[in-house]
Structure 1
Amino acid sequence: MILEAFMRVAAREGLHAVSLRAVAAEARISLRLVQYYFDTKARLMQSGLTALENISNERLKARLQSLERSPGARTTIEAYFSVALPTDHESRQFHLLWTSYAMLAMTDPEISDRTFVDGPDRQQERIASLLEKGKSEGDFHRELDGEIEATILISLMHGLGTAVLVGQQTAERAFASFGHYLDRLAGQASGEPCRDQKRSR
């Protein structure tokens, strides 16, 4: 309850406006109760950051459970992108807060910047593993470098997510761009036409 109130305040007013008192008022509980669990603002903010990653993982899990029983590697990567793209209130709040945290971690020594390395590193490892799985299943070209392509895909997710958040790209355009790149991973290395080219024929 406290963390949810914290995220509402931070998303609505910005991280700079967060205080233990403001969070207590948002949650409609006493300041003393907030202080019982989080004795400093830094500790509350660090816990909020961990909660954000957990929420993202739960959204991905729910997304995958809504798909077929054993989704292929490409479908799973597309689910990652779908969850990461800020297209509804929850995903916009996540992207906004994550970006705000990243900026704060560069200037506030009480906010660990390791979270912004460790979290994406874990995601990158999962995507690299999915690319290797996709190579064996025929979703992606067998000669692609999974680690390098995972780095590029993570960058696409973050960059397109920010572009959608600020209105520079539509969600539809972002999905099309991401799908186009996955098509290239499936066929361009072997000289095969990508999926869009095959459809046009």
Structure 2
Amino acid sequence: MPKRVDHELRRRQIAEAVWRIAASRGLPAATLREVAAEAAVSMRLVQYYFTTKERMLIYAFEYGAEAAGERMRARFTALGRAPGPVDVVRICLLELLPTDDDSLLLARVHAAYYAAALTDPALAGADARNPQHQLESVLATQLRAGQAAGDVPGGVDPAFEAGGLAALAAGLSSSILVGARSPDDAVALIDYHVRRLFPTPPRSRRGR
């Protein structure tokens, strides 16, 4: 009986090879031949799943976004309770920081894609679909929810603060990657700004 092949698993195996090359040598090095060698598969197999390099790179990018989303969901689950606005804001921001091996790999991959997207319109389009570009909307929504609950001051402008927080997290991620700031310092800065926006504890925890 023919052996069943998990095609999605194969695609992910190839995508993860793209990540490793992009993170260590930059995206231009992720040719079909190099990716096949890194994934320990034939070049013909890579071409079977991805007829062009562009399709392979875009798939790998989108799979990376999915992996980041899975990590974020795991953080929410680890809370052991329903996340409130302050939890969502903090976790969304912290997930952008390269603070462990997995997030460091993803951050380096995203940086490689961003650099390549400056001169590659196809990759620029993929970058526009990155869930991180939805971050400001998510943060603004949570800040409004915090205001409705009385946990965020009414004078805060959710849209402007969300833009500032997203830019802060992106800048901190880059500074960690180049060794200009430690992960602990970056986390402390995120926590400082989260406390500034949520100066009072969530109502469900007050008095405990």
TM-score normalised by the chain length of structure 2: 0.83
Q: Which residue of 1 aligns with 2:125?
A: 114
What displacement does 1:177 show?
1.3
State whether residues 86 and 198 of structure 2, in contact with CA within 8 Å, keep that contact through their aligned partners in structure 1: no
The more displaced of 81-90 and 135-144 is 135-144
**Which blocks of at least 5 consecutive residues in structure 2 are unaligned?**
1-12, 201-208
Between the aligned residues of both structures, percent identity stands at: 34
- What letter matches 1:87 in structure 2? T
Q: Does 1:149 align with 2:179?
A: no
**Which blocks of at least 5 consecutive residues in structure 1 are unaligned?**
193-201
User: 2:92 & 2:80 partners in 1: Cα distance?
Assistant: 15
State whether residues 98 and 173 of structure 2, in contact with CA within 8 Å, keep that contact through their aligned partners in structure 1: yes
Count how many residue pairs are aligned between Structure 1 and Structure 2: 187
User: 1:157 & 1:109 partners in 2: Cα distance?
Assistant: 25
Q: Does 1:14 align with 2:10?
A: no
1:122-156 CA-partner distances (Å, limit 9, x unpaired)? 22111111111111223311221111111111001
Q: Which residue of 2 aligns with 1:35?
A: 47
Q: Which residue of 2 aligns with 1:198?
A: none
Give 3-state SS (helix, strand or coil) of 2:122's partner.
coil
2:86 to 60, 74, 83: 74
RMSD of aligned alpha carbons: 1.7
Q: Which residue of 2 aligns with 1:158?
A: 170
| Aligned residue runs from structure 1 range 47-196, under 5 A | 47-111=59-123, 113-119=124-130, 120-187=132-199
What displacement does 1:183 show?
2.3
TM-score normalised by the chain length of structure 1: 0.86
Give 3-state SS (helix, strand or coil) of 2:95's partner.
helix
User: 2:24 & 2:133 partners in 1: Cα distance?
Assistant: 29
What displacement does 1:118 show?
4.0
Give 3-state SS (helix, strand or coil) of 2:166's partner.
helix
The more displaced of 148-157 and 71-80 is 71-80
